[in-house]
Structure 1
Amino acid sequence: MGAAKKEPESPPKTILYWTPYYNRTDFTVGLGQDPFIKFGCKVTNCIATADRKLLNQSDAVIFHALQVNSRDLPTHRHPHQRFIFFLQYAPHYFNWTMTHRRDSDVYVAEPYGAIAPKYWTLPAQLPDELPPDTLPANPAVLLNRKYPHLANRTKMVAWFASHCPTHSQREDYVKELANFVQVDIYGKCGTMECLPRNSQRCESLLDDYKFYLAAENSLCPDYVSEKFYRALTNDIVPIVYGGADYTDYAPPHSFINLADFASPKDLAAYLKLLASNEALYVEYFQWKKHYAVVRSPKKGWCDLCAKLNDPHWQSQRKSYEDVAEWWVRKLPCYPGSSFLLGHM
C-alpha cells in the first residue's frame, strides 16, 4: 500500500505592521512566525513583519489608529488584503477592525489583561493551592495562611493617575470619596509620586493597600485598561469606574463597582466594613481558586491568524464607509457628568 497522502500545508499569511504601536515596531507582539507558535495559536502559519517592501504580498496590513498619517498610507488595496483599523479616515479604506470593542471583526483585549480558568494557564503562573484536607473553615484563617501578606495591609485605597482632569471626571468622585476614607493619590491628580510610572517599584507600593481605584479616564463601552488587571495581579481588591460591563471580564465578587453605590459616602462605608472584617474581605479572593490573571494576552492575534485562513471570512467583501462612524458614534463614550449626577 502506498503511503498516506499528506494534507497540503496552507500558504503562509503575511501580517504587515504599517505603523508602530506607540514606540514598538513589533506591536508588542513580535516579528516572524514565532509569536503565533509561542502564543499557542491553533493556526500558526502567520508571519508578522514591519517591512513595507512586503506590502503587495501582505494578507493583512495593520494601522494603529492613533499614529496614522494621512500622507503616509498605501494608495491601493488588493482584493485579497485586509486593511485593519487597530484601535477619520477615507471612506471604505478599512475593511476590518481590530480593537477592544466586542463588535470588532477581530476582538483583542491586550495589551491589558484577561481572567482565564486555571487549566488554561501555564503552571508557572498559578498560585499554590492548599491541600483540600487542610482548608480552614474560618475565612480569616484562610487569609492568614493562603494570603499572609494581606493581613499586614494597613492602608485603605490607592490611586495611580497620570491624567487630570479627565473626560470621565473620575477626579471629582475621588475627591469626594477622600472626605470619608483614606485615599492616597499618586501622580498628576494628587500629592504623592512614584517614578518611573508602571515600574515594579511602583507596583510594590500596592502591598500596603487593601483597595485600588481602577478608574478609567473615559467611560467607553468594552474598555477595561491595565488598571483593573494591575490590582487583580497584586492581590488587591479593585474598585472599578468605567463604561464596560465588568461581569464580562472577571468572575463575580472579584471587584467592587462604585456604580453599585448611591454616593462616595456609601462606598466608603462599605470599604470600612470590609477592612474591619477579615471574613468579608477574604471573600474577594475566593475566585483565585479557579481563575488566574493573564497579563498581556494575545488571543486576539491568534483569532486574526485564524480568520486570515478561514475561507468564510476571506470570501466576505466588506469595507467601512466611515470607520469614525463605527468607532465614535455607534457605541459612543459618555461624559462623567451623566454618571456622577446619580452617584454623588
Structure 2
Amino acid sequence: MPIDKLRGTPVDKILSFRRNPDPQQQQQQQTDEMEDIPRFLPPQLLTEEATAKDTSRRMPDSDSINSEDAVRLPPPRRSPVSMRNLQRELYSPNQCMNVLKAIVAVVTICVLFATIPLYRRLRIEKETRLRMILLWNEQLMTGGTAHMECGCLVTTRRNHNDKPFDAVVFNADQPYSFAGLDSIKHTPDYYVVYSAKKPLSFTQNPMPGLMLPPFNLTMTYRLDSQLVWTDYYFSHPNLARRLNSFRNPSQNFGDDLPGSINERLESEISKKTRLAVYLWFDVDQNTLSESLYLEELRKYADLDAHDSCLGPDDCSHYHFMLIFETSACPDYVPSQMLMAMDKLIVPVLIGGGNLTNLVPPHSYISGLDFSTPKDLIDHLIELTDNREEYRRYFWWHSIYKLRQAIQPYCALCSLIQKAPEERQIRQGSSKLAFINWWTEYQCPNRSTTFL
C-alpha cells in the first residue's frame, strides 16, 4: 500500500492489514518470493507454479534456439552441495594417504638412482681389498669354482679375474705337482701352504730329490703346525677356541649336564638296539692285520658294516663304532672317531697312537687295553647291559663341546687379512723352517699284527 494512503489511516486498521492481509496481495508476495529463488536449485524444491513459470522462462522452445544462442549459453554451475563434497573428498584421509604414498615412491626412486653409483664404487673397492686363496690340487665341496669364506675368496681357478693370490694351498692328502707355480700371479708376501688332514706317513714326500720345497706355512693336524687343521675340535661351550688339554671325569657328571644335552642323551640311548658297527675298508697289505682282528671279533658278536654313517642311516642306533687305525702318528685323531662322538656313539679304537690331551679321557675305548678280541667283545656286551656305566662315556658333554669346522680356511683367511707386520705365527715362515718341521716329525712303526 502506498505511503500517502497510510498517513490518514488509523493504527488499528494498519494492524488489521498485517494480521489479515489481502488474498490478492498475499499471492503477489508469494510470486515475488518465488522469483527470488535461485535457478540452480532442483525442481523438487520449487512449487508447481514456480516450477512451471521458471521452466517456461528458462527453457525456450527448441525450435527457437539456434547455434549462436547455444554458444552464448553460460556454463553449468556447480551447486554448493557438490562443491562441499568435492572439498571433502580432496581433504579426506584416503586422499592424503595416496598423496603421501606417491611422495614416498618418488623419493625412494630418487634415492635409489643416487645410491647406485655409490654401491658400484664400494663393490669395486671391496673386490680390490678382497683376499684370494687358491686351492692348487683340490676341488671345492660346493661344486663351483669359487666361494666366500670368512671374508676371503676361495677358488680353484688359477687365473681368477687376473687378481694376485694371497695364499696357495697344497693338499698333501692328494697327489700334487709344483709345475706352473712360478707363473701364478701373487702378492709379494703370499703364502704357499702345506695342508694335510691324514697321517703324514701316508702323504707325498714334499722334498723330492734335492729340490727346496716352496712351502712357507704349515696347516695340518699336528699341534706344532702354524695353523692346526682338523674336521672336528673340542672347545668350551661358550668359547670356540681349540683345547689341547682336558681334565679327568667327575663322579656326578650327570648333575652338570645341561637339560637339553641330558634329554638328547637319554633319547639317543633309548634308541640304541644294535651292539657295534664298522665302516668298510679295503683289505690290502697295509690293512691285513686289522682284517684278521676283525675276523676274530666277528666270532663272538654280530657286527654290522656300513659304507658311511651320513644321511638318514646315521648309525645312531648302535652302541659302539669300531675304528681300525693303521697309523700311530703323534697328534693324529681319526676323523671317524670324532664323527662317532658327535653322533653320541662310543668309539672303539683298534690301533692308533697316544691320544692323551687330544680327546677327553674316558670318552672312548682302546682295543690295546684288552689282551684278546674276545675280552673286548665281552666288555662291550657288559656295557650295553649296564646303562649307567655306558652313560659315563659321555661325561665330557658337561664341560666340553665338540665343534665341526664347516669353513676350514677361516684361520688362513684371518691370517692373510692382517698386515704382514701383525701376523703372529709360531715359527719362522721360511722354506728352511719347513724342512726342519718336516724332518723332526716321525711316525712310530706300526705293529704287524694285533693278535
Q: Could you state the TM-score of these two structures normalised by the residue count of structure 1?
A: 0.69
8 Å Cα contact 1:109-1:297 kept in structure 2: no
Partner-residue secondary structure (3-state), 2:218: strand
Partner-residue secondary structure (3-state), 2:159: helix
Identity %: 24
8 Å Cα contact 1:220-1:242 kept in structure 2: no
Amino acid at match of 1:170: E
Match of 1:182 among 273, 281, 302: 302
Aligned partner of 1:15 in structure 2 is 132
8 Å Cα contact 1:220-1:244 kept in structure 2: yes
| 1:171 and 2:291 correspond | yes
1:288-299 equivalence runs, <5 A: 288-298=397-407
In the alignment, the residues of structure 1 paired with residue 171 and residue 446 of structure 2 have an alpha-carbon distance, to the nearest angstrom, of: 26
1:1-344 equivalence runs, <5 A: 12=129, 14-21=131-138, 23-24=139-140, 31-32=147-148, 35-36=149-150, 46-53=152-159, 57-65=164-172, 66-75=174-183, 79-87=188-196, 88-89=206-207, 90-110=211-231, 113-120=232-239, 146-165=265-284, 167=286, 169-186=289-306, 194=307, 197-203=308-314, 206-298=315-407, 301-308=409-416, 309=418, 311=421, 313=423, 316-320=428-432, 326-327=437-438, 330-338=440-448, 340=449, 344=451
Amino acid at match of 1:318: S
Question: Shift in Å at residue 280 of structure 1?
Answer: 0.8
Which deviations, in whole Å up to 9, do the C-alpha atoms of 1:273-299 show, x marking residues without a partner? Answer: 21221111111122223333322354x
8 Å Cα contact 1:14-1:49 kept in structure 2: no
Task: Count residues with an aligned counterpart.
Answer: 288
In the alignment, the residues of structure 1 paired with residue 353 and residue 129 of structure 2 have an alpha-carbon distance, to the nearest angstrom, of: 36
Amino acid at match of 1:157: A
Looking at secondary structure, tell me which structure has more helix per residue: 2
Partner-residue secondary structure (3-state), 2:409: helix
Question: Shift in Å at residue 30 of structure 1?
Answer: 6.5
In the alignment, the residues of structure 1 paired with residue 182 and residue 341 of structure 2 have an alpha-carbon distance, to the nearest angstrom, of: 41
Amino acid at match of 2:233: A
Which deviations, in whole Å up to 9, do the C-alpha atoms of 1:226-265 show, x marking residues without a partner? Answer: 3112211221111123534334332222211222223323
In the alignment, the residues of structure 2 paired with residue 223 and residue 178 of structure 1 have an alpha-carbon distance, to the nearest angstrom, of: 27
In the alignment, the residues of structure 2 paired with residue 53 and residue 75 of structure 1 have an alpha-carbon distance, to the nearest angstrom, of: 10
Q: Could you state the TM-score of these two structures normalised by the residue count of structure 2?
A: 0.54
8 Å Cα contact 2:320-2:347 kept in structure 1: yes
In the alignment, the residues of structure 2 paired with residue 294 and residue 255 of structure 1 have an alpha-carbon distance, to the nearest angstrom, of: 17
Structure 1 segments of 4+ aligned residues over 4 angstroms from their partners: 25-30, 75-79, 142-146, 312-317, 320-323
Which deviations, in whole Å up to 9, do the C-alpha atoms of 1:5-58 show, x marking residues without a partner? Answer: xxxx9x94633224242x3277999623xx21xxxxxxx5x4434342368732
Question: Shift in Å at residue 200 of structure 1?
Answer: 0.9
Give the stretch that moved more between structures: 269-278 or 305-314: 305-314
Partner-residue secondary structure (3-state), 1:221: coil
Amino acid at match of 1:178: R
Partner-residue secondary structure (3-state), 1:63: strand
Partner-residue secondary structure (3-state), 1:207: coil
In the alignment, the residues of structure 2 paired with residue 255 and residue 97 of structure 1 have an alpha-carbon distance, to the nearest angstrom, of: 29
Q: CA RMSD in A?
A: 3.7
Alpha-carbon distance change, 149 to 307 in structure 1, aligned in 2, over 3 angstroms: closer
**5+ unaligned residues in a row in structure 2: which ranges?**
1-125, 197-205, 241-253, 256-260
Which deviations, in whole Å up to 9, do the C-alpha atoms of 1:308-336 show, x marking residues without a partner? Answer: 3262647945114875x855x54333454
Partner-residue secondary structure (3-state), 2:320: strand
Give the structure with higher Rg (CA). Answer: 2
8 Å Cα contact 1:91-1:322 kept in structure 2: no
Alpha-carbon distance change, 217 to 56 in structure 1, aligned in 2, over 3 angstroms: farther
